[in-house]
Amino acid sequence: MMDLIRNVARKIDQGERLSDEDALALFNSNELVEIGRLADGVNRAKNKDLVFYNVNRHINPTNICALSCKFCAYSRKPGEEGAYAYSIEEMVTKAGEAVAQGATEVHMVGGLHPRWKFEHYKDMIAAVKQAFPHVHIKAFTAVELDWLARRARKTIEEILRELQAVGLGSLPGGGAEIFHPEIRDTICDTKVSAEQWLNTHRIAHNLGMHSNCTMLYGHIENYAHRVDHMRRLRELQDETGGFNAFIPLSFQPFQNEMGINNYTFGYDDLKTLAIARLYLDNFRHVKAYWIMLGQEVAQLGLEFGANDLDGTVIEEKISRMAGGRAGMAMSRNFIEHLILKSRRIPCERDTLYRPIKQPELRPKTEPSSNLRQAINKCDYGELLTIEDLQLLADQASLHEVGRLAAAVCGQAVTAGEGSFAPTTVLKLAEVSSVEDALSTLDAVAERNCSKFKLAASTIAIDLAPSTAPAAGESAASLGLDALLAIATNCRERFPTQEVAVWGTKGLWRLAQSQQISVAKLAERLAAAGVQSFGSSPDESETDLTNQEITELHSLMHAAGIPTIAKVELTAPTYGPSEPQWSAFLRRVRALADLQARTGKVVGIEVTASPGSFITTSEYFRAIALARLGSQGIPMVIAPLTMIPTLSQPKGLGTASYQHPAEKIASVCLHFGAADLGSIDMQKLSPISIMEQIRAAGFKPTLRASNQQQPSLEVYSAIEQGLRHAPSLGL
């Protein structure tokens, strides 16, 4: 595969255009970081460090539509529940609200209203333009224009000229979907054909109007259909040069007639952005449309060739009704924050990509000799110092640290595999006695088994205080004897599964309350059959010192119990500062040193401390640096349930499970992580985790927490409908 990357790199260097076969081969390749690095190089050559966004508002005038495209969750028939149609006055009011917030663009697309005449649409544009003459109106897809032309019995050129005369500035790129008839005839056979769509944009370009173009992917099309779609766009761009931006639209899977209920995975989104950037050499702009990708993938998209994040949007109904999870608005500050944290320069633009204010570009700097030395050390497998790691944190590109970390990861664990631990979790603070604990465990284990046809690989007893309102205070309230009795019984009841205890602070608390040393406690846990120890997902450890953490883990190791340690990146305001990166790296290094002494640190889990302000690019950098700084430790873990996500209002870095983490978790496997952590089978389906890992190009494997190598491929067992995975001996 590296031959492919080398060949593509050579073509780019020589200014040679990529062929359809090249694009297809890139889609079929698993070299995500390398493809991203090439796309980033092409993007920087075109746009330097600039990332564009605009302050805009989407207004969808109506969802009443004469057509019934199979993938559409937005349209309604007249009189149907949820149908709406804004009056022209309402449209003007909504545009006015946006203008008051500084919008320079109004974006209007909607359904094909069976009773609205062409004059109504013209009046709509004219009214908004008259009220706000300085605002650019981008409106009507080629599908809407075709409908209007037919209703008015005019040609596309005639209606475009009339709309242009009353204020239409440019066309959005919707309605393109997938051009290839094999797909188009299935998902939207009543829509304009590919040729009609392209011809409408050709006519607009010839009238001096610019437009965007889109591609709806992630449904029933294959990679060849995507390449075919992009080729047709590239050809038209060669002819007219009228496209502003290419916008890949990831399929939103709710309420459609196609029976697809999966979101695209981040791996596919990022690869599609990057290949578009490489293939569409005559486009200046590729947009990471956050409304559909989510903020996490959109920000990462800036590393994969995208140079535009769209805009503030404010109200968008089309993808929202189809299951869009990203919210409907992002503030200017938030957009700029995402761009700055990906180490690029935000540039507010108008619709035609003219900067509202001229941005200050940074002078291009060559990497320092110290950074080159640190990179060389990685390449030669030498031990990195804290100073080397800090340099990589401060100065290296995300691709560079990702590339280096993935290489180390491949040496540490079986390359090409991504593991996780399906787990039955017992919160000790939520049970009232040993009997209650055991019957709860039996019931949960049985339920998990019958639901997923798969036994958990790990039984975890979590010592963190309860999060359930009516439950007990902490593990200490039930006592050590109860914990030991539960562990012993677990060993007997679940002989082929690993028994783990979770909770660093819980263990200190327990030792204190029982007035015994942690060393003694560790010995008693080992004697009761506890086989591994890890952090609780419900407790932050940032207030513990490196010394306290290493001491606790080394005492467990001395008792013969392997451990997984959590490392939290902290940044209460606007991303980690240099000292916060330094603290993170020192914690990683302290664990690596412990591993050199005991050999019993199985893995480190990378997460953000609760309430931290950490963006997705920073989290990916943390994963890669943890891998580079922890030579000797088998696994760096991106725990799916603790990956920081961005969608909550104050959710930057909240260490709680958010759905969008699914989109990016398996991408971490390309940046040095080998494992997605313990998955509580009561909360998440192991089958969906396997699908995520597979979708990122890795072979999904199960592990128990104390095993250094992923242990079991269970797909075939599940597919055969076996009650238990046979290799687990159940």
Rounded CA gap, 394 and 391, in Å? 5
Pick out residues in 212-251 that bind ligand SF4 (CB under 6 A): none
Q: What is the DSSP letter of 287?
A: B
449 with 413: CB under 8 angstroms? Answer: no
β-partners of residue 607 are: 568
Judge contact between 135 and 95, C-beta under 8 A.
Answer: yes
| Selected range binding ligand SF4 among 68-76, 247-255, 289-297, 382-390, rule: CB under 6 A | 68-76
To ligand SF4, the closest distance from the beta carbon of 63 in angstroms equals 7
Smallest distance from the beta carbon of 500 to ligand SF4, in angstroms? 49
- Provide DSSP, 446-513: HHHHHHHS---SEEEEE-SPP-STTS-S-HHHH-HHHHHHHHHHHHHHSTTSEEEEE-HHHHHHHHHH
Could you say which of 19, 28, 68, 93 contacts ligand SF4 (CB under 6 A)? 68
Rule CB under 6 A: choose which of 27, 52, 53, 74 binds ligand SF4.
Answer: 74
SS3 readout for 351-414: CCCCECCCCCCCCCCCCCHHHHHHHHHHHCCCCCCHHHHHHHHHHCCHHHHHHHHHHHHHHHCC
Q: What are phi and psi of 297, to 5 degrees?
A: -70, -35
Which residue's CB is nearer to ligand SF4, number 69 or number 652? Answer: 69
Question: Residues 243, 200: contact at Cβ < 8 Å?
Answer: no
Which residue's CB is nearer to ligand SF4, number 68 or number 432? Answer: 68
> Of residues 537-556, which lie at the interface with ligand SF4 (CB under 6 A)?
none
Closer residue to ligand SF4 in complex, CB, 83/438: 83
Q: How far is CA 541 from CA 242, 506, 576, 677, in A?
A: 54, 11, 17, 17
- Please identify, using beta-carbon distances, which residue of 174 and 402 lies nearer to ligand SF4: 174
> Interface residues for ligand SF4 in 26-65 (CB under 6 A)?
65
CB of 168 to ligand SF4, least distance (A): 19
Query: Which residue's CB is nearer to ligand SF4, number 80 or number 382?
Result: 80
Contact 666, 695 (CB under 8 A): yes
> Shortest Cβ distance from residue 180 to ligand SF4 (Å)?
17
3-class DSSP state for residue 602?
strand
| Chosen residue from 5, 9, 67, 258 binding ligand SF4 by CB under 6 A | 67
CB 176, min distance to ligand SF4, A: 11
Contact call for residues 501 and 463 (beta carbons, < 8 A): yes
Decide whether 17 or 77 has the Cβ nearer to ligand SF4. Answer: 77
The burial class, CB within 10 Å (0-12 / 13-18 / 19+), for 637 is: buried
Tokens of residue 125, six digits:
């544009």
Query: Residues touching ligand SF4: how many (CB under 6 A)?
Result: 10
Token readout for 445 is 């284990």
Interface stretch with ligand SF4, choices 69-77, 200-208, 410-418, 529-537 (CB under 6 A): 69-77
If the CB atoms of residues 321 and 374 are measured against ligand SF4, the closer one turns out to be 321
156-166 vs 142-152: helix axis angle to the nearest 10? 100
What is the smallest separation between the CB atom of 101 and ligand SF4, expressed in angstroms?
27
- Nearest residue (CB) to ligand SF4, 41 versus 323: 323
Beta carbon of residue 117, minimum distance to ligand SF4 (angstroms, whole number): 18
Closer residue to ligand SF4 in complex, CB, 32/112 = 112
CB of residue 68 to ligand SF4, shortest distance in Å = 6
- Which amino acid does the sequence have at 642? M
Closer of 36 and 111 to ligand SF4 (Cβ): 111
Q: Does 69 bind ligand SF4 (CB under 6 A)?
A: yes
Element (H, E) at 229: helix 223-240
Stretch touching ligand SF4 by CB under 6 A, among 70-78, 265-273, 371-379, 449-457: 70-78
Element (H, E) at 549: helix 546-558
State whether the Cα torsion 714-716-717-719 is positive or negative: positive
Of residues 178 and 712, the one with the C-beta less far from ligand SF4: 178
In the bound state with ligand SF4, the residue whose beta carbon lies nearer, of 68 and 331, is: 68
Site string for ligand SF4, 76-115 (x = CB under 6 A): -----------------------------------xx---
Q: How far apart are CA 156 and CA 133, in angstroms?
A: 25
Site for ligand SF4 in 121-160 (CB under 6 A): 143
Positions that interact with ligand SF4 (CB under 6 A): 65, 67-69, 72, 74-75, 111-112, 143
